[in-house]
Structure 1
Amino acid sequence: MNDMKSLSHTSYRCKYHIVIVPKYRRMVIFNKLRADIGAILRQLIERKPDCKLIEKEACPDHIHMLIEIPPKYSVAQFMGYLKSKSALMIFERH
């Protein structure tokens, strides 16, 4: 299993398990918009170079994702991007 990636001075295998939970675990939002939210998150992850969505599962009140993020992005920076852009896109569509 050789899934090591490399940048100019580093080799890495950075995979993060991320859980996104809406405020108060609002099931109504995820039950109605579940498929669309998944498509929006996948689209935003694919926009970032070298970031890859490995697995995702949408539960009734939260979303689990396994994402490969290169070390040039911090996890906090990536999540800030993902949450802000996805909130705008969801608000715009619905």
Structure 2
Amino acid sequence: MSRYESASHVYYRCQYHIVWTPKYRLKILKGNLGKELYRSIYIYSNMKNCKVVELNVQVDHVHLVVRMPPSLSISKYMGFVKGRTAIRLFNKFPYLRKQKLWGNKFWQRGYFVDSVGMNEEIIRRYVRHQDRVGKEEEERQMHLGLSN
């Protein structure tokens, strides 16, 4: 596989590490809801001609490394993915709408994004092993008595 993608008049390699969270950073992205979100991100990324390189859905946030065409801005991509996944999750899991705190919004407003360059393998490994890092940090906090 080539390192670069191509379109009619361009060769490119636009790759980004993106992190976003559910509203109030609630720990709800687990079980069937987490699996559905995982599938949905692949589906909606494909619809925008984006390639998911790494994806890790944690209980309270999502890590994604994605390759996208230069014709698509990150903000448009994130608006599309967050909007469509929210609609899909609200429809598949109606109990979410019953909680008044959502206000018909599933995701926090913002997100983190960083371009992936020479440190691609480090970032991919970080995303892949996010669950281990989270568990180790939780255990450390429990040991120190900081967890609620």
User: Please, what TM-score do these two structures have when normalized by structure 2?
Assistant: 0.58
| 2:56 counterpart residue number | 57
Deviations, residues 22-74 of structure 1 (Å, cap 9, x unaligned): 121100x212411111111111111222x111111112210101000110101
* Matching of residues 34-49 of structure 1 within 5 Å: 34-49=34-49
* Distance in structure 2 (CA, Å) of the matches to 1:54 and 1:66: 5
For residues 6 and 36 of structure 1, the distance between their equivalents in structure 2, rounded to whole angstroms, comes to: 30
User: Mind listing any 5+ residue stretches in structure 2 that lack a counterpart?
Assistant: 94-148
List structure 1 segments (4+ residues) > 6 angstroms apart after TM superposition.
none
1:1-94 correspondence runs (5 A): 2-27=2-27, 29-32=28-31, 33-49=33-49, 51-94=50-93
Q: Which has the larger radius of gyration?
A: 2
Percent identity (aligned) = 35
Where 1:30 maps in the other structure, the secondary structure is coil
Please say which of residues 9-18 and 67-76 is displaced more in the overlay. Answer: 9-18
The DSSP-based 3-state class of the residue aligned with 2:36 is: helix
Report how many aligned residue pairs link the two structures.
92
Q: Which has the higher strand share?
A: 1
Structure 1 unaligned blocks of 5 or more: none
Deviations 1:5-29 (A, max 9, x none): 22233221100101121121100x2
RMSD: 1.5
Query: TM-score, length-normalised on structure 1?
Result: 0.87
